[in-house]
Chain A
Amino acid sequence: MKLTDSRTIDADLPMVWNALLDADVLKACVPGCTAMSGSAEDGFEATVVQKVGPVKATFQGRVTISDRVEHETLTISGEGKGGVAGFAKGGATVRLVPEGAATVLHYDVDASVGGKLAQLGSRIIDSFAKKMADQFFTDFQAAVEPAAPSDAETPETTEKKGWFGRLKSA
């Protein structure tokens, strides 16, 4: 299945770019990710636990980043094997375009599944994949964007950064 969408992230382009290459960010944003190690250069090893319909499985997989054009575009590809549950593989080509102080993140996701997962039918799988992608980019946005000021905090004392930004500036 294919998904194409974009999101406007309230952070500057270099910060978004760096976040995309950060194992901690990826671990936090990949839904169900319980372990993520490695680097953008050498690839990441990931463990993801997910429940799709009636199938719950632990996927062991490898994530690689390729076709990098600094601060413009990259491709994230991954393949996870879930044993008897089957497998999932896919990639996302991400393109970043600055828009004022914000960054527009365009993504084209191409995902496929096999084995028991595929037999669940496209209705479950397509909606699941869309949910996963939405979740990833929502979490990614939250990680990178400044947190919305809450009533309890005074705006002046809150730094306008997401947790990734705070982490990086600490």
Chain B
Amino acid sequence: MPKDINEVVGRREDARFLTGTGRYTDDITQHNQAAAVFARSPIANGIIRKIDVSAAEAMPGVLAIFTGEDFTEVGGNPAGWMINSRDGSPMHEPKRPVLAHGKVRHVGDAYAAVIAETPEQAQDAMEAIDADFEELPAIVDMAAALSGDDYVHDEIGTNQCFDWGWIEDNRAATDAAIQGAHHVTTLELVNNRLVPNAMEPRCSMASYHPATEEYVLHTTSQNPHLTRLLISAFVLGIPENKLTVIAPDVGGGFGSKIYHYGEEALVLAAAKKLGRPVKWTADRTEAFLTDAHGRDHVTKIELALDAEGNFLAFRTETMANVGAYLSNFSTATPTFLHGTLMAGNYTVPNVYVNVKAVFTNTAPVDAYRGAGRPEATYSIERVIDKAARELGMDPITLRRQNFVKPDQYPFASAAGLEYDSGNYDALMDRMEEIADLGGFTARRAASEAKGMWRGLGINAYIEACGIAPSNLVGVLGSRVGLYDAATVRVNATGNLSVMVGAHSHGQGHETAFPDIVADMLGINAASIDIVHGDTSKIPFGMGTYGSRSLAVCGSAVVRATEKIIVKAKKIAAHMLEASDLDIELKDGVFSVAGTNSSVSFGEVALKAYIPHDFPITEIEPGLEETAFYDPANFTYPSGAYCCEVEVDPETGKVSVERFTAVDDFGNVINPMIVTGQVHGGLGQGIGQALLEHTTYDENGQLLSASYMDYTMPRADDLPFFHVDHSQGTPCTHNPLGVKGCGEAGAIGSPPTVVNAVIDALNSGGKPVTHLDMPLTPHRVWSAMQTV
């Protein structure tokens, strides 16, 4: 496929998003609809002594009240990946019920739900529920959780979900390499917990038709098929053919809407019980308390080097918080999306990663934009920066010296992946050029002249996207395959509906995907529309996360379109009385090679549905094809990032002055969308580095549960971004040659910013070696006072 298939055009979906005419779940109101409101635990850990709903049931408008007792007969919400510990034992997987039963395990844990005529009545009745808890000590700190005698799940008898080693067979060699190294740089760091903060809070609405026993669930999901599968196979046992899950417009997810949540099961059960549609819409506080959070790793990383600065080994020990229950991807995120990337862009021969996943009385933690790869990149790129400073080496030179070189692909990394393509030096070259590193000295002098310290931060990253080869993830413990699917339907009048498994909630699929089909068929993209987000319309789909939509679902679109072309050529051959082997397709016209005999794409489409003279034993009527695409490997986007910050020596306030992101996304279908995705990722990554921080107090109370205390990045916190994706090396194993761009910015930017701030402090005579994110003025200023 050629690069830059189409010139930059506006995104189709923006017309409705920017004019307030999107159709989100909460915008949909059904006849006779009732409202659900949840009663949520005010404490982090406690035994439910009493839930007296008698007063609440007598309140006006109340239709039903559910508690955990009502769901003891149904299944729990499972983890999607089974992880084995180093000793071979399987991870601990406590039941995650629809509503808390017996115990509440985090602030916000739902223990009852009220269904009433209106949300206000449901809220009033919820407040009348008389619940009594025996409060138990909250388990908040991970180290204390591992050493203590109080358990989040008593039946497990430990707070350690698993103790994972990657790759266990490489441990001894890694230990030996570190032992014998010329220099070892050690860094202990915290990857701060983040709240996803999608613009649209979660919302679920269910209806049930008694005559057909069919359920319809409208919900804020990144992957409606996976939600249906989880509800059908694990939680409620509703047959898949009786359950339609629809995710209409969804206002952002960043990972938090991948997962199935108990509220979805509750509204389904309530809709059946009442025979009425039931809707629940989260408020912002519920989003803070119950959306799966991100990151929250505590890591010790060691980098061993020889006397020439060659990397000999990375070794890490990480505690990864999984919160009170295992969310669907929570066990994969700190393991196979993290440990496998721990070789970075480097030829380092030894890598060993140890991850202990820890239950705590906090909200579940799961994949959040980047999902494991930001944690890996942050650890690697921070320790490299520290090593460069310790050894007096230039941070770019040290990285370049250890980069995988272009002639080494396919490259088997020491962390177990096979990188198919890349050119990290070319990215670094381009970054140095765009960022004008030659002018840094002058810019630093200018900053110093106005009393500011200026720092330069460098970062290189690699990630694994296009998740993922089913045969590989099956070996690694995934309980699902990670292919995707598409159906291309050519309608009789020549326009197309393309049903795709990847849900679009801001990514721009409705604009990008038609371009693929249009380019292959040589027709106008305006005659092609994407259908997504409805399990009754789409063959199947594993959803949108892990920067996989274009690489995996886009490839399924290619495969289905290829099938369309094969069949359309047969029809054209029949129409032209030629052999289909002689038919060529160019610019939307089928012609017999070497002749001027041709039919248009539209004529072929019409013929497919009006087959009066078809040889029916050779050609079926209709023109519709489906393909499932299972990738052969991950894709490996990479990048070189650079950032310049100013630190105010008086206050410790950091401002990001310049930011350059040069990414290798392989081929690019729509440059404007790619640039937008990078901008969004950078905003989130800079937010993590400087502003965002999720704070539980020692009692497990979420203190940062509103925008009063949780600082989101705003436009004036961000500089102009210099974004470039001109150095793409095409992915070698998918038909589009694309790698995925959705998470890169959030992966590459946090270490870039922190490296820059450390550099600024050192330039100001403060030899600070590390600061944990977020780099608030208080933290930076405090560090300045103590060195």
Is the pair B699, A114 in contact by a Cβ cutoff of 8 Å? Answer: yes
Q: Which of A84, A86, A120 has the most CB of B within 10 A?
A: A84
Instruction: Kindly list chain B residues whose C-beta atoms are within 8 Å of the C-beta of A116.
Output: 42, 285
A34 and B252 CA atoms in complex are apart in Å by 47
| A118 and B709 contacting across the interface, CB-CB below 8 Å | no
Count: A-B pairs, CB below 8 Å: 52
CB distance from A6 to the nearest CB of B (A): 26
Contact A121 B701 (CB under 8 A): no
Most B Cβ at <10 Å: residue of A112, A114, A115? A114
Which chain B residues border A86 with CB–CB below 8 Å?
Answer: 42
Pick the residue among A83, A87, A115, A118 that contacts B703 (CB under 8 A): A118
Of B39, B288, B702, B703, the most chain A CB neighbours within 10 A belong to B703
Kindly provide the distance from the CB of A126 to the nearest chain B CB, expressed in whole angstroms.
10
How distant is the Cα of A121 from the Cα of B288 in the complex, in angstroms?
A: 12
**Interface membership of B669, Cβ < 8 A:** no
Top 8 nearest A-B pairs (CB, nearest first) are: A115-B42, A119-B705, A118-B701, A121-B709, A84-B127, A86-B42, A121-B708, A114-B42
A51: interface (CB < 8 Å): no
Which residues in window 74-118 of B have CB below 8 A to A? Answer: 107
Contact of A122 among B107, B127, B703 (CB under 8 A): B703
- A122 to B288: give the CA distance in the assembly, Å: 16
Q: How far is the CB of A85 from chain B (nearest CB, A)?
A: 9
Set of chain B residues within 8 Å of A118, measured between Cβ atoms: 107, 697, 701-703, 705
Q: Are B704 and A121 in contact (CB under 8 A)?
A: yes
Give bound CA distance, A114 to B136, whole Å.
13
Provide a sorted-by-A list of 11 A–B residue pairs whose CB atoms are within 8 angstroms: A112-B697, A112-B699, A114-B43, A114-B107, A115-B701, A120-B706, A121-B704, A121-B708, A122-B697, A123-B708, A124-B708
- In the assembled complex, how far is the CB of residue A82 from the closest CB belonging to chain B, in whole angstroms? 9
A84 touching B126 in the complex, CB below 8 Å, given contacts A114-B699, A115-B107: yes
- Residues from chain B with a CB closer than 8 A to the CB of A114 are 42-43, 107, 699, 701
- Asked whether, in the complex, the Cβ of A119 is within 8 Å of the Cβ of B288, the reply is yes
- Residues of chain A lying within 8 A (CB to CB) of residue B107: 114-115, 118-119
Provide the bound-state CA to CA distance between A123 and B707, in Å.
12
Interface residues of A in 118-151 (CB under 8 A from B): 118-124
Contacts of B127 in A (CB 8 A): 83-84
Given A86-B42, A115-B42, answer yes or no on A120-B708 (Cβ-Cβ < 8 Å). yes
A105 within 8 A of B: no
A87–B132 CA distance with the chains assembled, in angstroms: 12
Q: How far is the CA of A83 from the CA of B705 in the complex (A)?
A: 19
List residues of chain A with CB within 8 A of the CB of B703.
Answer: 118-119, 121-122
A87→B703 CA distance, assembly (Å)? 14
Q: Residues of A contacting B705 with CB < 8 Å?
A: 118-121
Q: Is B289 an interface residue (CB 8 A)?
A: yes
**A11 interfacial contact with B, CB 8 Å:** no
Type the 1/0 row for B690-722, where 1 means its CB is closer than 8 Å to any CB of A. Answer: 000000010101111110110000000000000
In the complex, A20→B467 CA distance in Å? 66
Find out whether the CB atom of B708 lies under 8 angstroms from the CB atom of A113.
Answer: no
The docked-state distance in angstroms from the alpha carbon of A127 to that of B695 is: 18
Q: Which residue of the partner chain B has the closest CB to A112? A: B699
Within 8 A of B (CB), among A81-125: 83-84, 86-87, 112-116, 118-124
Q: Assess whether B706 is in contact with A121, with CB atoms less than 8 Å apart.
A: yes
A114 to B705 Cα, complex, angstroms? 12
What residue in chain A is nearest B130 (Cβ atoms)?
A: A83
Residue total for B at the interface (Cβ-Cβ under 8 A): 19
**C-alpha gap A116/B706 in the complex (Å):** 10
Docked-complex contact B126 and A119, CB < 8 angstroms: no
Binary B-proximity of A60-87 (CB < 8 A = 1, otherwise 0)? 0000000000000000000000011011
Closest Cβ of chain B to A44, distance in Å, is 21
Q: For the complex, give the distance between the alpha carbons of A112 and B127 in Å.
A: 22
Known: A114-B107, A124-B708. A119 touches B285 (CB 8 A): yes
Beta-carbon contacts of A1-18 to B below 8 Å, as 1s and 0s? 000000000000000000
Closest to A119 in B: B705
Which residues of B (127-159) have their CB < 8 Å from a CB of A? Answer: 127
Q: Which residue of A lies closest to B705 (CB)?
A: A119
Complex interface: chain A residues within 8 A of B697 (CB): 112, 118, 122
- Supply 15 further A-B pairs (C-beta < 8 A) apart from A118-B697, A119-B289: A86-B42, A87-B42, A87-B43, A112-B701, A115-B701, A116-B285, A119-B107, A119-B288, A119-B701, A119-B702, A119-B703, A121-B706, A121-B708, A122-B703, A123-B709
Contact A122 B709, beta carbon cutoff 8 Å: yes
- Contact call A119/B43, Cβ cutoff below 8 A: no
From residue B265, how far is it (CB to closest CB) to chain A in Å?
Answer: 23
A120–B43 Cα distance when bound, in Å, is 15
List the B side residues contacting A115 at CB < 8 Å. Answer: 42-43, 107, 701
Q: Which chain A residue shows the least CB distance to B708?
A: A121
- Chain B CB within 10 Å — which of A116, A119, A123 has the most? A119
A113 touches B701 (CB 8 A): yes
Measured between beta carbons, the chain A residues less than 8 angstroms from B708 are 120-121, 123-124
* Known contacts A83-B127, A84-B127, A114-B42, A119 near B706 by CB under 8 Å: yes
Chain B residue at minimum C-beta to C-beta distance from A83: B127
**Please, how many angstroms separate the alpha-carbon atoms of A41 and B660 in the complex?**
70
Give the docked Cα–Cα distance between A87 and B133 (Å).
12
Closest A residue to B42 by beta carbon equals A115
Residues of A within 8 A of B39 (CB): 84
Across-interface contacts of A120 in B (CB, < 8 A): 705-706, 708
**Which residues does chain A contribute within 8 Å of B704, judged by CB atoms?**
121
A114 CA / B700 CA spacing, docked (Å): 9
Q: Name the A residues within 8 Å of B42 (CB-CB).
A: 86-87, 114-116
User: In the complex, which residue of chain B has the Cβ closest to the Cβ of A86?
Assistant: B42
Q: Once bound together, how far apart are the Cα atoms of A119 and B704, in whole Å? A: 7
8 Å CB interface, B245-286 against A: 285
| Residue of B126, B288, B701, B706 with highest tally of chain A CB at under 10 A | B701
Tell me which residues across on chain B come within 8 A of A122, comparing CB atoms. Answer: 697, 703, 709
B195 to chain A, nearest CB (A): 12
* B700 nearest in chain A by CB position: A114
Bound together, the chains give a CA A124 to CA B288 distance in angstroms of: 18
Task: Looking at the assembled complex, report how far the CB atom of A118 sits from the nearest CB atom of chain B, in whole angstroms.
Answer: 4
Binary per-residue interface labels of chain B (658-670) against chain A in the complex, 1 for a CB within 8 Å, 0 otherwise: 0000000000000
